[in-house]
Amino acid sequence: MEQAAQIRRMPIELANKIAAGEVVQRPASAVKELLENAIDAGATDISVLIKASGSNLIQVRDNGTGMSSQDAAQCFERHATSKIAQAEDLENIRTLGFRGEALASIAAIAQVSLKTKRQEGTEGTHVRIEGGEVIETSPCATAVGTTINVRNLFFNVPARRSFLKAPTTEFRHISEVFVTCALANPWTAFRLEHEKQEVYRLAGSRAENFLDALRERLRVVLGSKVARHLVRVDEGTSYISASGFLAHPEHARKSRKNQYLFVNGRPIKSPSLNHAIRSAYDAILPEGQKPAYALFLNVDPRNVDVNVHPSKIEVRFDDDRGVYNFIQAICRRALGVAELIPQHPGAVSSLSFQQERSDSSSSWSPPARADELPALHGHQTSIVYEVEPSRLPSGADPKPSGFLWQLQDSYILTQLSNGILVVDQYAAHQRILFENALEDLRSGAGLSQQLLFHHLICLTQQDCQLLRELDPLAKALGFDYSISENRTVTVRGVPSHIRVGAEKELLQSILDGYKESSETELAPLPAEEKMARSLATRGAIQPGVKLSDEEMRTLIDRLFECNEPYRTPGGKPTLIRVTLEELNRRFDQRMVDHGEPDEIIP
């Protein structure tokens, strides 16, 4: 008897749920698809309303062309689209959407209501659909354009809903999608509201030139100070053209925030092109710093494949190497014209789209400075070198007369009775700052040093909102500040262990670090620990800073006062030990008896 068939066709509802997982990973994914539909419809005014960070409600309203009653009913069917009709159209895609998957995917995992009307129509159409099943289709009274409400996202896929991040993180992703779409369309008015609070209201630019309109929008998104120092890019060849702005290196950050890259108006992510732009800054930015930019590439659609990723954020060029060389060259040229780096005449004119990539980028090395090592407890200026012997590695000499030497302005070497100890100054200071900050946060009694002159810092709307949420923690650390309605932060005091003059960069860096830790952590950390980690990572003395003997002794002293002196908050070693036995083995020397071997450092 023949065995029954094991392969069978999945129910359409199940297939739609599975496919939806590729298109809609989180609320921000749905917002992106709905915004792109509105832009493709020619809207000049788009409003987004969010509740519960998109889990309860996502509403997108536009004044675009709208849809007929027949199109409104068909738009939720999988692979139903007005953008392409045949295979040849894939080689000439000029719209943001084209697959016909977005609305079907959203409707499969949410409760969706759509109202739409065309200019020539006498009445609109209302479509209501839940979990992929059409509940109602009826005429309605509505304005020209389309309004779509997405409620209870993932209501029928509870496993997906449980994987969503914290509401603050999810809304930050929505804000980033919103800002990205707004930058790509500076002539369109955008508005974003969250929990009845207006987050953004961006008027459509009246500038005739795209770059002028983009500069206006960047002034709102990045802040007026960053916008005042933008470097203009506007170059092209017969194959590709690029226009946009590069930020001054003084506004670089350790995160990739404020890096916007577009191809034919489509936002993309490209590690290769990001590297091309970053390499143009090699001579003026230290390692780890990332510049801000908004760069728009225009290429013949036949030379770029946008049908690579389900979310359409990756593209492939038919000459990737040539595009890389072009981007690198024009960014170097723009920075050179702005007199930020030495300019090499003819860098762009000699560019060939078949030539090999150049590896002639300059390297940056930080200047040697003797910055004061911040005191970690109040305003202590004298060195008190008193450490419990039990806290030191076996063989370490706690006396201040011990040998200390700084290697490459990054590592501190000292002699042990049976070898040498190498301390990573950046890692060690991270541990010190982390434990100090954690103690301040838990006690709520962090010391603050008041500034003689108040400092004004302009934050983005997203960072301003995050700072308000972190206000109790920031105040516990010792920050003293106020936030005005125009997103200006007046800093009156900083934690006592922070070097005066670094408060502006540190406050912004702490916010960036807090957001990064929320994205990369495998297991959620308490808010206090994330805040302490951010302060430690951003506030620690960096490699390349020259320390005096007294500063090196203070650093080692404070390190071994820590509860966990051997690891950074992230788990990396703060020090290593090289025994005499190891040195002799490497030099193939006869062992010399120097007493009992050291105990192993945990």
42-72 pLDDT, tens per residue? Answer: 999 999 999 999 999 999 999 999 999 888 8
Q: Higher-confidence residue: 89 or 347?
A: 89
Checking if the pLDDT of 359 tops 50, the result is no
CA count, 13 A, side-chain hemisphere, 20: 27
Checking if the pLDDT of 376 tops 50, the result is no
- Report how far Cα 406 is from the mean position of its chain's Cα atoms: 34
Amino acid at site 366: P
Q: How confident is the model at residue 504 (pLDDT cuts 50, 70, 90)?
A: low
Q: Per-residue pLDDT tens for 580-597?
A: 877 888 787 554 554 444
Lowest mean pLDDT among 332-336, 460-464, 536-540: 536-540
Q: How many other C-beta atoms can be found within 10 angstroms of the C-beta atom of residue 484?
A: 11
**Measured between alpha carbons, how far is 182 from 46 in angstroms, rounded to an integer?**
10
CB 489 within 8 A of CB 467: yes
Retrieve residue 61's tokens.
């309203």
Q: Higher-confidence residue: 417 or 236?
A: 236
Q: How confident is the model at residue 82 (pLDDT cuts 50, 70, 90)?
A: low
Checking if the pLDDT of 227 tops 60, the result is yes
- How far the first Cα of the chain sits from its last, in Å, is 66
Mean of pLDDT values over 494-515: 68
Mean of pLDDT values over 27-56: 94
Predicted local distance difference test score (pLDDT) of residue 27: 94
Predicted local distance difference test score (pLDDT) of residue 348: 42
- Which H helix or E strand runs over 553? helix 549-559
- Report how far Cα 202 is from the mean position of its chain's Cα atoms: 22
Predicted local distance difference test score (pLDDT) of residue 142: 94
**Residues above pLDDT 90, as percent of the chain:** 30
Task: Supply φ then ψ for residue 85, to 5 degrees.
Answer: -130, -20
For the residues of 405-428, what is the DSSP string, one character each? Answer: EEETTTEEEEEETTEEEEEEHHHH
The string over 460-480, giving b where at least 16 C-beta atoms fall within 10 Å of a residue's C-beta and e elsewhere, is bbbbbbbbeebeebbebbbbb
**Measured between alpha carbons, how far is 60 from 192 in angstroms, rounded to an integer?**
9
Checking if the pLDDT of 409 tops 80, the result is yes
Look-up of token digits 């707004």: 182
CB 85 within 8 A of CB 106: no
Lowest mean pLDDT among 18-22, 359-363, 407-411, 469-473: 359-363
Query: Would you call 158 exposed, middle or buried from its count of C-beta atoms within 10 A (0-12, 13-18, 19+)?
Result: exposed
**Measured between alpha carbons, how far is 527 from 529 in angstroms, rounded to an integer?**
5
- Average pLDDT score, the chain: 78
Q: Per-residue pLDDT tens for 178-223?
A: 999 999 999 999 999 999 899 999 999 999 999 999 999 999 988 8
Checking if the pLDDT of 600 tops 70, the result is no
Mean of pLDDT values over 300-310: 78
Mean of pLDDT values over 155-169: 87
Hey, what's the torsion of the CAs at 287, 288, 289, 295, to 10 degrees? 100
Checking if the pLDDT of 387 tops 90, the result is no
Lowest mean pLDDT among 168-182, 434-448, 578-592: 578-592
Task: Supply φ then ψ for residue 201, to 5 degrees.
Answer: -135, 105
What three-state secondary structure class fits 507? helix
The string over 3-42, giving b where at least 16 C-beta atoms fall within 10 Å of a residue's C-beta and e elsewhere, is eeeeeeeeeeeeebbebbeebbbbbbbbbbbbbbbbbbbe
Q: Which candidate, 358, 332, 357, places its Cα nearest to that of 346?
A: 332
Q: Per-residue pLDDT tens for 521-535?
A: 444 567 778 778 877
Q: How confident is the model at residue 386 (pLDDT cuts 50, 70, 90)?
A: very low
Predicted local distance difference test score (pLDDT) of residue 144: 95
Domains of the chain, each with CATH number or no CATH: 12-202 (3.30.565.10), 210-337 (3.30.230.10), 389-580 (3.30.1540.20)
Beta bridge partners of 77: none
Of the ranges 27-31, 225-229, 381-385, which is most confident? Answer: 27-31
Q: How confident is the model at residue 368 (pLDDT cuts 50, 70, 90)?
A: very low
Specify the pairing of strand 259-263 against strand 293-299: parallel
Q: How confident is the model at residue 122 (pLDDT cuts 50, 70, 90)?
A: confident
Q: How confident is the model at residue 12 (pLDDT cuts 50, 70, 90)?
A: low
Amino acid at site 4: A
Q: Which candidate, 84, 52, 201, 75, places its Cα nearest to that of 148?
A: 75
Whether this prediction's pTM lies above 0.85 is answered by: no
Q: How confident is the model at residue 103 (pLDDT cuts 50, 70, 90)?
A: confident
**Measured between alpha carbons, how far is 479 from 493 in angstroms, rounded to an integer?**
6
Checking if the pLDDT of 225 tops 90, the result is no
Checking if the pLDDT of 390 tops 70, the result is no
CB 67 within 8 A of CB 125: yes
